[in-house]
Chains A and B, each alone.
Chain A
Amino acid sequence: GQNIDQPTEMTATEGAIVQINCTYQTSGFNGLFWYQQHAGEAPTFLSYNVLDGLEEKGRFSSFLSRSKGYSYLLLKELQMKDSASYLCAVRDSNYQLIWGAGTKLIIKP
């Protein structure tokens, strides 16, 4: 079966750096997405990786290793507004999105 694993919850301190990992086992691979979802709000797109390596977007970076079935989202200079759930999703060989259960990130002052 197809599976996406990510930690259920993480806690970090304001101003620090946090890395949220995502491992996947899917039928084929056509890209990996990260979304941010604040409580009670819509998931919003953060990043897309299809080739190995690091993609940087301001304070957020996303890394992909296709051979290891692994990605991470790196958040730097954490702010209180970064408290949210972070969803990892992989597009499989049928171009369907397979979703992880999300990682709830709690930022403490």
Chain B
Amino acid sequence: ETGVTQTPRHLVMGMTNKKSLKCEQHLGHNAMYWYKQSAKKPLELMFVYSLEERVENNSVPSRFSPECPNSSHLFLHLHTLQPEDSALYLCASSQELLAGGQDEQFFGPGTRLTVL
């Protein structure tokens, strides 16, 4: 247990569906992240939030919409996805954003998303 939970663990959706991924951290951290992990590729940073404000959006298509209602919760709303969006979506948190030292990121187990 890393202190970061994600639901659902698995999701299959059609291209016209709307679904949401949920992440919750129990660590009292101030920064939260969404990553996409595809096979044999580096982790791709999608969104970064610090104290509930979005500070990074790495050219992610608008069919992905994040929401951070408070410092413990993070959502990723999905709409009109493409088959190439099938991947493992990981949520992470860290004590601070842009921190030095050993301020490592703590990851959730991910949501395995399949788009048909």
Contact of B43 with A99 in the complex, beta carbons under 8 Å: yes
For chain B, the bracket of interface size reads 20 to 34
Number of A interface residues, CB 8 Å? 25
Complex interface bits, B99-110 against A, C-beta within 8 A gives 1, otherwise 0: 111101111111
Does the CB pair B45–A96 fall under 8 Å? yes
Given contacts A42-B90, A45-B106, A97-B105, contact A87 B100 (CB under 8 A): no
Task: Decide yes or no: A40 and B109 within 8 Å by CB, A87-B43, A100-B42 being known contacts.
Answer: yes
Interface residue ranges, B against A (CB under 8 Å): 2, 4, 40-43, 45, 90, 97-102, 104-110, 112
Chain A residues in contact with chain B, CB under 8 A? 4, 8, 30-31, 33, 35, 40-45, 48, 50, 87, 89, 94-102
